[in-house]
Amino acid sequence: MKISRRIILGGAAALATGPAFAQGWAPTRPIRFVVPFAAGGATDVVARVLAERMGERLGQPIVVENRAGSGGNIGVENVVRAPADGTVILMGTTGTLTINQHLYGNMGFDPAKDLASVGMAFATDHVLIVNDKVPAQTAQEFLAWLRANPGKASFGSAGSGSSTHMVAELFRAAAKVEVTHVPYRGSAPALNDTVAGNVQFMLDQLPSAIGMIQGGKVRALATTGPRRTSQLPDVPTMKEIGLPDAEATSWGAVMVPTGTPASVIARLNAVLREALADPKIQERLVAAGADAVSSTPEELQRKIAQEVQTWGRVVQEARITVN
């Protein structure tokens, strides 16, 4: 497998800092915020931070609901089939919004047609982590170990086609190593098995892995962003270890069912952007390893359309399939 060009999972619009606009629509009952992955992963962490603040501004609780499975498709379909009235929203991701449609032959829905954009929410780097059973203290030692043991190492992911899978495929291609993919139902169980040694490594999103790294449960060998992260200033980037083609950044965005009134989308976007502009929220996201990123619905829609095309080519070139 060879991917000749660098792929960036996200690259977001500048964070808007203007005030929220007119009050407009207000929900009359609690809102379900569907996260299509298991609790504890990066998408879940950010969703819970935003749900708290957005719920305060809207005057109704926003309840995060984890619906994992099928690379995130189960959770997405739950939102697609929900009433288009603002009472059910989705934390979509690079994988669920732009990749899965190229991997699954019959999802029963089309995210490009069945979901409407509210706004960007976050961007985050991935981090290459290994457990303490792996005989490597640096990225260079790890690469040498992988090359000396072709086919013997395995990596976990949040599921086939997820960002943690795709970024690892970029790493595999850039490093020219033979490793085995083990998909899980979410990032958290994959991380747990990495810690336990059932898989040797993972390219997890930083928000979900940072606790295990800081707790000494796993070793961080490299990050995938264009520059070192402030959370791990001593850990080199993929470019620094000689793998520029493994550079990647993931993103998440809030979506609603197609048909949701424009006034509802405008209100949700205003509340979302207000939350993301709050320095306290930004600090909480940074502490979790994510960067607050906002956009208009139109900017997000254009981004999704562009990456649908990009990831279609990547999936085809890499011959990536779901298990």
Confidence label for 23 from pLDDT (cuts 50, 70 and 90): low
CATH of the domain at 207: 3.40.190.10
Give the pLDDT score at 14: 40
Tens of pLDDT, residue by residue over 156-213, are 998 877 788 888 988 998 999 999 999 998 888 999 999 999 999 999 989 889 999 9
Among 11-15, 95-99, 118-122, 125-129, the range scoring the smallest mean pLDDT is 11-15
Q: Average of pLDDT values for 66-88?
A: 95
Bridge partners (DSSP) listed for residue 291: 123
Q: Do 129 and 241 belong together in one domain?
A: yes
First to last CA, the chain: 17
Give the pLDDT score at 16: 40
Give the pLDDT score at 173: 87
Contact 247, 8 (CB under 8 A): yes
Confidence label for 320 from pLDDT (cuts 50, 70 and 90): confident
Among 88-92, 267-271, 315-319, the range scoring the smallest mean pLDDT is 315-319
The last residue of one of the domains, among 213, 231, 246, is 246
The last residue of one of the domains, among 183, 218, 246, is 246
The alpha helices in the chain, defined as continuous H runs, are 42-58, 73-80, 94, 100-103, 111-114, 139-148, 163-175, 187-196, 206-214, 262-277, 279-287, 297-318
The last residue of one of the domains, among 246, 270, 300, is 246
| Two tokens, residue 9 | 């999972």
Give the pLDDT score at 120: 98
CATH of the domain at 48: 3.40.190.150
Cβ neighbourhood burial of 261 (10 Å; 0-12, 13-18, 19+): middle
Range(s) of the domain holding residue 114:
31-123+249-318
| Two tokens, residue 15 | 């964070």
pTM of the model: 0.76
Q: Do 97 and 112 belong together in one domain?
A: yes
Q: Supply angle C-alpha 66, 69, 75, rounded to 5.
A: 50
Task: Say whether 257 sits in a helix, a strand or coil.
Answer: strand
Contact 122, 285 (CB under 8 A): yes
